[in-house]
Amino acid sequence: MDATILHSGFDGLKFTVQTDIPPALREKLAAAKDHAKQTHSECLISFGPVTLSVSNKGARGFTAHTGDHGAVWLFQDPQDRIPHNPGITVDFRAFGLATGGLEGAERHFRECINAMEIKYVETQLRVSRADYAVDFLAPWFEPNREALVVPPGTKITEFTGIDETATMASGSRVTGLRAGAIANRQIAIYDKRAEIIQTGKMGWLTIWNAALAAQGEHPLDIKDRNASQVWRFELRLGSKQLRHRFEMRNWQDIQDMVGDVFTDALTRIHYCEPTIDRNRSRWPLDELWRQFEHVIHNDLRANCCGVLPDDVRNANRIEKMREIDAQLLGLFVTRAAISDVPSDDFHEFMDCHISALQRSCDAHPVPVNERLSKAAARYRLV
């Protein structure tokens, strides 16, 4: 049964910047934070076209935001740094991503950084999280924990009661599933309608109704659950995938490769239709999951390069090994020729000479482990 897609797009994006804020910005943030503490309300400070709302939070730094369509900015205090923590963390808001996408987020980031006169270079950027969501109008659907097929050892959480979560439960009805760890990869399937009612974020209703209007459909009656039940399928990727496995760092990496990361994750997590087959990997995909995969593949097609960093490294390494092997063989042939070794005795010569080289290696004043380490550093192929 096909569901109506009401929205698809990035729902989360987080960057860190390995730099300190300038002294002038630090003084403004400190004064605004003190004012927020005294008035028990956020303090507004402006930098040209950018307005920051500074809160009284942040024990050893400053917390601010640029509105529902902007981002939350966390600044380390250069005078009281937490060791090994990034100087700046930027967590983009869902509404800004929903309406402006990656391009809008990048524009907002650069506008704010320039307005606040923060100096940095692209190599100081780190992407630590990216979420992609698809909202389905599917009143008949209810999450089934057994239908999730995930890698062994993956933790799965099922939401069935109001005490378990404030935003993903209603009575005893199953209202959400979550599997995986946010630092690595995580899938969340949950009742988005219930969430927006509880949090009052009716902007999502505006987005959904705009999608329905574009399809010639009537707007949702949010009070009628049977007619307005919206389920969000959200795939979340953390730093272990984005930075460590795929080596994504800056905005250009996001534009070039983020589709590859999501495509890879979809090969490892599935929501299926359970059958009597004990081999869960053979279960057919649920129709909503098929739509979910199709949307992500289609939406992020332009953000794929189709090659993993490891693939490039392995190809370079294999080519270098072939090159060195050819050089070794050439040296052996030359050494045999100088030693007047006939062609019939060449293989025996190689065996004997390898033994002689091994004895030379053992007698070398520098241990072989140190020499291997230096060679490995010299031929670090990327």
Over the stretch 89-112, which tens digit does the pLDDT of each residue have? Answer: 999 999 999 999 999 999 999 999
pTM for the complete prediction?
A: 0.78
Per-residue pLDDT tens for 170-224?
Answer: 445 788 999 999 999 999 999 999 999 999 999 999 999 999 999 999 999 999 9
Please report, as a single letter, which amino acid is at residue 381: L
Three-state secondary structure readout of the chain: CCCEEEEEEEEEEEEEECCCCCHHHHHHHHHHHHHHHHHCCCEEEEECCEEEEECCCCCCEEEEECCCCCEEEEEECCCCCCCCCCCEEEEECHHHHHHHHHHHHHHHHHHHHHHCCCCCCHHHEEEEEEEEEEEEECCCCCCCHHHEECCCCCCEEEECCCCCCCCCCECCECCEEEEECCCCEEEEEEEHHHHHHHHCCCHHHHHHHHHHHHCCCCCCCCCCHHHHCEEEEEEEEEHHHHHHHCCCCCHHHHHHHHHHHHHHHHCCCEEECCCCCCCHHHCCECHHHHHHHHHHHHHCHHHCCCCCHHHHHHHHHHHHHHHHHHHHHHHHHHHHHHCCCCHHHHHHHHHHHHHHHHHHHHHCCCCHHHHHHHHHHHCCCC
- What mean pLDDT do residues 328-354 have? 86
Q: Look at residue 379 and tell me whether its pLDDT is greater than 80.
A: no
Q: What is the predicted pLDDT for the residue at 367?
A: 85
DSSP β-ladder status, 185-191 and 230-238? antiparallel
Structure confidence at residue 382 as a pLDDT band (50, 70, 90): very low
Per-residue pLDDT tens for 255-278?
Answer: 999 999 999 999 999 999 999 999
Cβ–Cβ under 8 Å, residues 157 and 179: yes
Cβ–Cβ under 8 Å, residues 289 and 138: no
Per-residue pLDDT tens for 219-250?
Answer: 999 999 999 999 999 999 999 999 888 888 89
Q: Look at residue 321 and tell me whether its pLDDT is greater than 80.
A: no
- What mean pLDDT do residues 159-165 have? 45
Q: What is the predicted pLDDT for the residue at 160?
A: 53
Q: What is the predicted pLDDT for the residue at 324?
A: 81
- Looking at per-residue confidence, does 370 or 66 come out higher? 66
Q: Which of 95-104, 111-120, 337-346 has the lowest average pLDDT?
A: 337-346
Beta-carbon contacts of residue 318 (< 8 Å; ≥ 6 apart):
none
- What mean pLDDT do residues 324-349 have? 86
C-beta neighbour count of 334 within 10 angstroms: 10
Per-residue pLDDT tens for 3-12?
Answer: 999 999 999 9
Mean pLDDT value across the chain: 88
Q: What is the predicted pLDDT for the residue at 165?
A: 37
Give the start-to-end residue ranges of the domains of the chain. Answer: 4-306, 310-378
Per-residue pLDDT tens for 307-320?
Answer: 554 554 565 666 67
**Distance of alpha carbon 82 from alpha carbon 58, whole angstroms:** 12
